């Protein structure tokens, strides 16, 4: 894949980077990444994917920009109030890097459309704010054989992991699914929403950038990723910890859980 003179100048610091180089930048240009959510995590994630030269960025979000978003959702501005987030996000990417194609999906992702939305993308990055969407997206990525980078944000804490549950790990066992890490969603009402508990805006920026780095690493192939590892950030004490987690053979996707319950392991768990 060739680069124009403008692209060579734009990506010069990647091209001279030993573990990226021209071949790595070509992989970024050829890549298609689907971002779920153009909010607190999606905003910095989309910006840095665009700056890195991802060829095509799909953006799924059915929300409109509100004033309370702007404390952390830096992809949007005051002039965007009331606009669909996919529209303002697309314009922001165009201003940042005209070489990146944006595919807006102004819909709410769910069981009825998730497979179609994922179908044409190489990597999925989930910055949604609820367990129902995370389970839906992670299950669909497993069935479609897509790598998933998924992040979560609390008031002063955040976490990030990568799921490649459709593949086998070095130990010969399947890689863990999202359901191996979180078998069940917390009971309703036990985890306050962002509106109820608040969130530190700069923390969203920190984790969104980390998500972009992990997506780029997944595409280019340098370093050691977060498959089977959960990165946890505590912004109150500036603690970064990594928790290892493994495959649960009873999980309903690539384990025995679905068969034991009389389910199709490739179908939605009850």
Beta bridge partners of residue 174, listed in sequence order: 168
Mean pLDDT of 96-113: 97
Taking only the tens place, the pLDDT of each residue in 109-139 is 999 999 999 999 999 999 998 999 999 999 9
Please identify which of the residues 136, 141, 180, 194 carries the catalytic annotation.
194
Taking only the tens place, the pLDDT of each residue in 60-93 is 999 999 999 999 999 999 999 999 999 999 999 9
pLDDT at 266 over 80: no
Asked whether residue 6 is domain-assigned, the answer is no
3-state secondary structure of 204: helix
Asked whether residue 13 is domain-assigned, the answer is no
How many separate domains does the chain show?
1
The residue ranking higher by pLDDT, 58 or 185, is 58
Asked whether residue 129 is domain-assigned, the answer is yes
How many whole angstroms separate alpha carbon 207 and alpha carbon 107?
Answer: 24
Q: What is the span of the domain harbouring residue 97? A: 18-260
In a 13 Å sphere around the CA of 190, the CA atoms on its Cβ side amount to 6
Beta bridge partners of residue 150, listed in sequence order: 126, 161
The domain that holds 74 is classified in CATH as: 3.40.50.720
Asked whether residue 3 is domain-assigned, the answer is no
Asked whether residue 52 is domain-assigned, the answer is yes
How many whole angstroms separate alpha carbon 7 and alpha carbon 92?
Answer: 18
Of the pLDDT bands very low, low, confident and very high (cuts 50, 70, 90), residue 1 is confident
What is the pLDDT, as a whole number, of residue 195? Answer: 73
Residue 217's closest CA among 41, 17, 16, 28?
Answer: 28
Asked whether residue 10 is domain-assigned, the answer is no
Taking only the tens place, the pLDDT of each residue in 131-145 is 999 999 999 999 999
Of the pLDDT bands very low, low, confident and very high (cuts 50, 70, 90), residue 264 is very low
Of the pLDDT bands very low, low, confident and very high (cuts 50, 70, 90), residue 258 is low
Asked whether residue 103 is domain-assigned, the answer is yes
How many whole angstroms separate alpha carbon 81 and alpha carbon 109?
Answer: 22
Whole-model pTM: value is 0.92
Active site residue 194: yes
Asked whether residue 118 is domain-assigned, the answer is yes
């Amino acid at each position: 894949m060739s680069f124009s003179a403008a692209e060579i100048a734009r990506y010069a610091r990647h091209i001279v980077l030993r573990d990226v180089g021209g071949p790595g930048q070509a992989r970024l240009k050829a890549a298609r990444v689907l971002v779920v959510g153009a909010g607190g995590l999606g905003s910095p994630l989309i910006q840095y994917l665009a700056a890195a030269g991802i060829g095509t960025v799909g953006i799924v979000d059915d929300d409109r920009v509100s004033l309370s978003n702007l404390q952390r959702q830096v992809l949007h501005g005051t002039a965007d109030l009331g606009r669909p987030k996919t529209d303002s996000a697309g314009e922001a990417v165009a201003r940042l890097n005209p070489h990146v194609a944006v595919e807006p999906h102004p819909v709410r992702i769910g069981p009825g459309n998730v497979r179609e939305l994922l179908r044409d993308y190489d990597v999925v990055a989930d910055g949604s704010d609820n367990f129902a969407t995370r389970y839906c997206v992670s299950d669909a990525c497993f069935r479609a054989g897509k790598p998933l980078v998924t992040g979560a944000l609390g008031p002063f804490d955040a976490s990030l992991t990568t799921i490649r549950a459709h593949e086998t790990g070095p130990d010969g066992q399947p890689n863990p699914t999202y359901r191996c890490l979180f078998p069940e969603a917390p009971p309703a009402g036990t985890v306050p929403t962002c509106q109820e508990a608040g969130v530190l805006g700069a923390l969203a920026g920190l984790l969104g950038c980390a998500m972009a780095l992990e997506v780029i690493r997944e595409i280019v192939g340098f370093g050691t990723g977060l498959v089977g590892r959960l990165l946890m950030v505590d912004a109150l004490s500036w603690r970064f910890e990594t928790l290892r987690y493994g495959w649960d053979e009873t999980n309903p996707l690539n384990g025995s859980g679905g068969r034991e319950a009389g389910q199709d392991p490739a179908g939605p768990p009850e």
